[in-house]
Structure 1
Amino acid sequence: MVTKQEAAAAVRHAKVVTGVTWEQLAQAVGRPLVWTTAALLGQHPMSKDEAATAAALLELGDDVALAFQLQPTRGALEAAVPVDPTIYRLYEVIQVYGPAIKELIHEQCGDGIMSAVNFRLDVKRVPDPAGDRVVITLDGKYLPYQW
């Protein structure tokens, strides 16, 4: 049986070989771009039809399509502190701005948290005269603590 990690590696390889983009995969599967990318990298289970569509587009076999359908172990990174520069910068952003974000959520919404289950995420490249910018939108449902 192919694991979700092995399937993710197969996806990365197949994308290079086939030239298929994440956007093309998302359109074919009929799901949002970020969700589809995360699913194919092992963070969400796909339906049987979604998995078959993605596997066919990437020219991968039924064993990989089956792995796409498995329940993931979410948030599993290879190290407690990520070493990849892109992922580490996001970690750094949360280290620097996490306490401020928490305070602002509490001030504006009350004692609670932002859901990572009822959640949307978007990534965009935005032209800027001083150099293009990356805009990341985190959109999670507010969940009040209930005592």
Structure 2
Amino acid sequence: MNKETMTDTIVSAKQKLGLTWEKMAVDLNMSPVWLASACLGMNSAPQEKATAIASYLGLDDSVAAALAAFPTKIWDQAVPTDPLIYRLYEVVGVYGDTLKEVIQEKFGDGIMSAIDFSMEVDKIEDPKGDRVLLTLNGKFLPYKSW
């Protein structure tokens, strides 16, 4: 089973069971962001987590094997038209250089890891309209000279 078929199978099972990523994450003791990313094919799951996810959803070993398989992280290079995803591109487009400058002033010449990384999505209720709080937490990796 490839990652695309795996994702379709998992999302269908999730919908059929009336589950949310948050509910699944709580029940499986996993981060909802990481869980969704693995189930959408962008990260591999350690075998024990892959087995737990497949079992939880009532899916077979082929799904667990696909979850554990290393992904090829390729995505459409065109700017997406989905409004939520587009807005994230817009944030990076408008604030990317600013973030780079501020991060490098604080840490030096380097990058934020997307491997040694975690992310959280929280809802902040506000009378003017609820807010989305994204927390990106990545290890700083300095560039080395040799």
Scaled by the length of structure 2, the TM-score of the pair is: 0.92
CA root-mean-square deviation: 1.4
Partner secondary structure for residue 136 of structure 2: strand
What one-letter code is carried by the residue in structure 2 that aligns with 1:96?
V
Residues 49-88 of structure 1 correspond to what in structure 2 (within 5 A)? 49-74=48-73, 76-88=74-86
Partner secondary structure for residue 139 of structure 2: strand
- Tell me what 1:105 maps to: 103
Percent identity, please. Answer: 44
How far apart are the structure 2 equivalents of 1:27 and 1:48? 19
Offset from partner CA, 1:91-144 (integer Å, 9 cap, x none): 111000000000101111111111111111010011011000000011111111
How far apart are the structure 1 equivalents of 2:98 and 2:85? 20
- Tell me what 1:94 maps to: 92
Q: Which consecutive segments of 4 or more residues in structure 1 shift more than 4 A?
A: none
How far apart are the structure 2 equivalents of 1:118 and 1:65? 23
How far apart are the structure 1 equivalents of 2:77 and 2:144? 33
Partner secondary structure for residue 108 of structure 1: helix
Q: Aligned residue pairs: how many? A: 145
Q: Compute the displacement of 1:53 (Å).
A: 1.4
How far apart are the structure 1 equivalents of 2:37 and 2:16? 20
- Tell me what 1:6 maps to: 5
- Tell me what 2:44 maps to: 45
Offset from partner CA, 1:14-37 (integer Å, 9 cap, x none): 111011221232234332221111
